Structure 1
Amino acid sequence: MIALHTIPDFLETEIFLSVLLYLLLFSILLNMFITVYEYLGAQAIVGALSGRYSKPAEEDLTFLFIDLRSSTTLAERMGHIQYSLFIENSFQILTDSIYKYNATIYQFVGDEAVLLWPSKNARKTLAPIHFYFDFIEQLQRNGPRFITEFGEVPHFKAAIHSGLVTVTEIRTVKKDIVYHGDVLNTCARIMGQCSSLNKDILISSVVASWLQDTHGFKANLTIELPLRGKVELTAIYELTPVFF
């Protein structure tokens, strides 16, 4: 054992100072890694470090677009500061579901979030679908707090689509991983139909096909539309949970 009277001397030794400096640097690097991990996600980090996305690559991914309903009306009524806090509180709850269902954050744009999963995993676990309903359940559970603080409970609409996209690394002022392709455009346009059709969550025919062998959710063909930029009609399904 180290005698108590020798501790002050030990604290001044080069060994202690070296260990302290090492721990400080390790803590800084760890915090930096955690911040980057939370921002990009594991898939993007591995791809960037390995140089996988230095040239455009094709991947099969599933995207979930989620957006706050009546955002303009809420912003005007609450004011910018209160509305920003409203969104921040909503996305804090969203983060819990992100960790729970292993989603990768592509981007936050205002009151909209875009999340993604490898399609192989999404198809097997239905993680994007479970993610949405888990998030909605948590919002409802926190409803009384939102009413007290903001006078309103947030309601989100969403769309899910899956398919091949191009992934590449952009090097400008900062590095970023970006995704291109018809899948994202179609998913955004499907979500645009949520307001027109007054539906909470809409999915593509690709995602609807995953539900044939499951009893937890039901996909109802809602409409077939000639979405802008597409020649063929796009089948859009409403997604609903099935309760027994």
Structure 2
Amino acid sequence: MRRSVTLTIVLAITGLLGGGLFRYIFNDPSEASVANYLRSCTHGVALALVMGSVHLYFSSRSSAWVRRWPFVVELLIRSITMAVVLAITAIAMEVILYDHRIEFGWIAGDFPKIMGFSLGLSVPFSTAYELTRMTGGRTLLHVLLGRYRRPIREQRVLLFLDLVGSTSLAEAMGELRVQELLTRFFFDIDEAIVSHGGEVHAYVGDEVIVTWPVNASPSSRRYLDCVFAIDDRLAELADDYRWEFGTVPAFRAGMHAGTVVISECGDSRRQLAYFGDTVNVTARLQQHCKVVGRALLVSGELLRLLPEDANVIIEPLGSTRLRGRAAPIEIFAVARREAATARRQASS
């Protein structure tokens, strides 16, 4: 929801400016009235919002049928759809805003200009949109500004979350079918991550790595709320998962906070890499969930960033030496009180 609102605002502003620019460049100066500029700006906003809607559709689960085709075919379908939808919108807005029938002079004159201008603007927008989807908006900005050209230390919260029982699922369902489940799982939990300010750093097998920067006022429930929102989302879609895959995915998660070294790495394929003890501890916490039979484990460092909340049950598990690490770490199991109560009632 948060991502859609931001995109809508950006598109509306872009369309507003684009419509005014089109009027200034292509129309007769004698027609440069306030009313005509308002019409052009409204026309631009409508075209921009429609363009964004097409992009959102083709990045949603509803367009999975397109992604089954080769990329060239997918690109062709997306381009044709964009052109047709923009053409219909341009014609409809011309009728609505100027209250006249479509004439041949407009079809031969202004209409090609509107289409060329709109499709031309869609290219940089599409590029920025896809880059943002690939890297995350905040990360993309930092990369463009060169923030990570050299290694830099940052205070980060990390979440390692993986699918429970993926190996046994692969044996029962087959690897291709499990990959479909994982793809659906990662797609369905993405909104919960984004809406709570998280950035997906990477997908590694059946695991997703999410990160948050620790700001000047670090006390926040958003880290835990993100995990709880993922749990709620899977509960909402439980019937869909049972119908499609015969099972409802469950997860184990580890969360930790501390210093992370971030840097651009690689040459032929550059990417951001996270280094340091914080990364290793978070991975070990997630793995330790299986040992202690808990769905969510957090470190003492992470716990200190959280405000007190009566609806959260925090269970101290003591100081533990995690695999591959000599120094012990304070570990806590975390759960929602209402969720724990519901489980007890279901089992009684």
Q: Does structure 1 retain, via aligned residues, the 8 Å contact 2:314–2:335?
A: yes
Counterpart Cα distance in 2 of 1:91 and 1:47 = 24
Structure whose residues are more often strand by fraction: 1
User: Which runs of structure 2 are paired with 1:1-244 in the superposition (5 Å)?
Assistant: 4=101, 7-13=103-109, 16-120=111-215, 123-211=218-306, 213-243=308-338
* C-alpha deviation, 1:212, in angstroms: 5.9
Deviations 1:47-97 (A, max 9, x none): 111111111111111010000001100111111222122112211210120
Of structures 1 and 2, the one with the larger relative CO (CA 8 A, separation 6+) is 1
Q: Does structure 1 retain, via aligned residues, the 8 Å contact 2:219–2:306?
A: no
The SS at the match of 1:120 is coil
Bigger radius of gyration, 1 or 2? 2
Q: Does structure 1 retain, via aligned residues, the 8 Å contact 2:161–2:254?
A: yes
Q: Does structure 1 retain, via aligned residues, the 8 Å contact 2:220–2:305?
A: no
**Cα gap change, 1:48/1:154 in structure 2, threshold over 3 Å: closer, same or farther?**
same
| Gaps in structure 1 of 5+ consecutive residues | none
* C-alpha deviation, 1:167, in angstroms: 1.2
**Cα gap change, 1:93/1:46 in structure 2, threshold over 3 Å: closer, same or farther?**
same
| TM-score after normalising by structure 2 | 0.65
Counterpart Cα distance in 2 of 1:139 and 1:210 = 26
- Comparing 31-40 with 158-167, greater Cα deviation is found at 31-40
Counterpart Cα distance in 1 of 2:230 and 2:276 = 27
Structure whose residues are more often helix by fraction: 2
| TM-score after normalising by structure 1 | 0.90
Counterpart Cα distance in 2 of 1:2 and 1:140 = 50
Counterpart Cα distance in 2 of 1:79 and 1:161 = 33
* C-alpha deviation, 1:174, in angstroms: 2.8
| Gaps in structure 2 of 5+ consecutive residues | 1-97, 342-348
- Comparing 212-221 with 161-170, greater Cα deviation is found at 212-221
Letter in 2 for 1:203: V
**Cα gap change, 1:124/1:237 in structure 2, threshold over 3 Å: closer, same or farther?**
same
Counterpart Cα distance in 2 of 1:123 and 1:153 = 34
